[in-house]
A and B are shown apart, each in its own frame.
Chain A
Amino acid sequence: MNQQRHAGSLSLRAHFGVWVALLALLLLTLGSAYLRLGWANGAINVAIAAIKALLVMLFFMRLRASRPVLRLAAGAGFVWLLILGGLALADFLSRG
């Protein structure tokens, strides 16, 4: 019964694999910050952060193996944040 319920559980190897990927991405984001890329620095940092967050959520938090409503709940948080940020920035960026 245990095996059945924890069917979504990751192997030991997979756990460490995700961890190594996270640390690699940390080095990547830190390193890229020392390159003079203008506005792209910020974009790269946020993109890498998003990938790290996805790794933690999909694997450590087991969203990948979870039922859809949980993924919906997680997604809704981020989407609604995008609504707040997006429409607020629409104001700030379009002011004369």
Chain B
Amino acid sequence: MSPASPPVRDSYLDAGYTLWSWLSTHDHKRIGILFAFSITALFFIGGAAATIIRLELLTPAGDLVSEQTYNKLFTMHGVIMIWFFLIPSIPSTLGNFLLPLMIGARDLAFPRLNLASWYLYVGGALFTIGALVAGGVDTGWTFYTPFSTMFSNTHVIAAAAGVFIVGFSSILTGINFIVTIHTMRAPGLTWFRLPLFVWALYATSLIFVLATPVLAMTLLLIALERWFGIGIFDPALGGDPLLFQHLFWFYSHPAVYVMILPAMGVVSEIVACYARKPIFNYKTMAMAILAIAVVGFLVWGHHMFVSGQSVYAGIVFSILSFIVAIPSAIKVFNWTATLYKAHVMFHAPMLYALGFVGLFTLGGITGLFLASLALDVHLHDTYFVVAHFHYIMVGGAVMAFLGGIHFWWPKITGRMYSDGWARFAAILVFFGFNLTFFPQFLLGYLGMPRRYHAYAPEFQVLNVLSSAGASILAAGYLLPLVYLLWSLRRGAVAPANPWEAKGLEWSTQSPPPKENFRQTPIVTEAPYAYAPPIEVAK
């Protein structure tokens, strides 16, 4: 790694410098970067909503914004962060960029469909931002009926249309990834030689194609109800709000596995590299990924325990929710076993991965609290739930996303960033995150309800701690923007394999050429074939 060597000149970045060359590209690597820009922009909008929420919650009284505005803020925060940030984040940025590289292919199976995915994302985002600008939506990201269909005076259909459109972005990505993995693996790359990140993308794509269409129809039904006043979901006309919830959560529960599985894949790649060890029990890890995806479709009723759902159905969903925790737990044990007696290098990506393992464990276990029927009666719609899912989605998925960005940054950009600053940012994020969300477990357990802009005075101390944490977290998120962008101009030129990692993506130059590989690679070894450190006799 020599600072004096000139940047690589014939990479995919040099295949055209105009804006149009980017907007009309079929190159999966460029499309991944287009997605990265878009989701970052949407992340900041969702983050702005969160900022105002945390400012409001500094004081018990609802004195910063009206309750209507507050409803719109948490709705927009949820809609944007879930559909326009978390769900596309790893698959459409890192997944798009890395999948063909990891399997030795020149591109995805359907490059034009890939570009269409991005345009659909942008179209959906424009609809949703339009709804925001026109006055917002106040139904909560869950669009529960009959409020969303009968009583809300806000721009429900515009927001639902935005989500409908971006859903097709996911579906196309899912089709593309599944077909690519099935048909375009390099010679010698059998299924059980695939990196776990590829397994994770595969399972995620299965969820994309099987769950998202149901969401699409559900959103269409909301629109029909609002336009024509039909009563499918309205009790006054003989309809059933729980029908909506069943349809909605059939998608939205698997959606959370869409958000976490790619993150788990990233963590496996990082842990193996910086522990210099193969992932412990690779086959079980791959099977656990599939198990999470499949069993994740059977548990959605745990969002409806207190909604009026039959108690027998509740019991079934509760048992299944306990079962789905098992493959996740297996993965945590296997990462731990991988780290056991490993010679760990604490680079920034590894800090994020380690943070993931701990925070995901906490988030996952608190999920079991919520899966217990009796406990959920007390905890449903409190801040306990809010803390639980933020531990998984932020403490888990976002940390893994940041870890992955750092891990593959040299490959994507051809530049090295400052690891000192990166480690500082990672620690800041970890600290800020815990300060923000751990108090929320306590708040929820003490009974503070979610989605309220005012609260009882005894909850103030914990809320202030949470808001303070949020400011630190925000700083931790902004820092990478600075040093990563700085590295594009001033960072050392990256070699092909700065971390000496295993994986086909590291065997090509940084950044890769447009066609990915000068010659199609042939795979002969198992994944993560890291050599154990040799003990040198003194």
A52 to B298, CA, bound (A): 29
A residues 39-78 near B (Cβ < 8 Å) are 69, 76-77
Is A91 in contact with B297, judged by CB distance below 8 angstroms?
Answer: no
Is B345 part of the contact surface with A, judged by Cβ < 8 Å? no
Does residue B309 face the partner (Cβ distance < 8 Å to A)? yes
Query: Chain A 82-96, CB within 8 Å of chain B: the 1/0 string?
Result: 011001101110111
What 1/0 mask marks residues of chain B from 218 to 262 whose CB sits below 8 Å from any chain A CB?
Answer: 000000000000000000000010110011001000000000000
Q: Are the C-beta atoms of A69 and B182 separated by less than 8 Å?
A: yes
Q: Is the CB of A87 within 8 A of B310?
A: no
Q: Determine the distance from Cα of A83 to Cα of B250 in the docked complex, in whole angstroms.
A: 9
Flag whether A80 is at the interface (Cβ < 8 A).
yes
**CA A90 – CA B214 in complex, angstroms?**
18
Contact pick for A96, options B214, B240, B310, CB 8 Å: B310
A83 proximity list for chain B (CB < 8 A): 297-298
Chain B contact-residue range equals 20 to 34
Interface contact B298-A95, CB-CB below 8 Å: no
> What's the count of A-B pairs with C-beta under 8 Å?
41
The answer, among A87, A91, A92, for a CB contact under 8 Å with B298, is A87
> Which residues on B sit within 8 Å (CB–CB) of A80?
210, 297
Q: Which of B256-314 contact A (CB under 8 A)?
A: 297-298, 300-301, 304, 309-310, 312-313
CB distance from A88 to the nearest CB of B (A): 4
Instruction: Digitize B71-97: 1 where CB-to-A-CB distance is under 8 Å, 0 elsewhere.
Output: 000000000000000000000000000
CB closest chain-B residue, reference A95:
B310
Classify chain A: how many residues form its interface, as a range. Answer: 10 to 19
B316 CB contacts on chain A under 8 angstroms: 87, 90
Shortest C-beta distance, B334 to chain A (Å), equals: 27
User: How would you classify the secondary structure of chain B's contact residues: helix, strand, loop or mixed?
Assistant: helix
Pick the residue among B210, B214, B310 that contacts A91 (CB under 8 A). Answer: B310
Q: Are A76's CB and B310's CB within 8 A?
A: no
Chain A residues with CB below 8 A from B312, complex form: 90, 94
B309 near A91: Cβ-Cβ < 8 Å: yes
Chain B 166-198 per-residue mask, 1 if CB under 8 angstroms from chain A, else 0: 000000000000000010000000000000000
Contacts of B304 in A (CB 8 A): 91
Q: Are A91 and B182 closer than 8 Å at their CB atoms?
A: no
Task: Name the distance in Å between A89's Cβ and chain B's nearest Cβ.
Answer: 9
Chain A residues positioned under 8 Å from B210 (CB to CB): 76-77, 80
Additional A-B contact list (7), CB under 8 Å, known A87-B298, A87-B316: A90-B312, A91-B242, A91-B310, A92-B310, A95-B309, A95-B310, A96-B310
A-B contact pairs, 12 of them (CB 8 A): A69-B182, A77-B210, A84-B250, A87-B317, A88-B246, A90-B310, A90-B313, A91-B309, A91-B313, A92-B310, A94-B310, A94-B312
9 closest residue pairs by CB, A with B: A91-B313, A94-B310, A88-B246, A94-B312, A95-B310, A80-B210, A91-B310, A90-B313, A84-B250
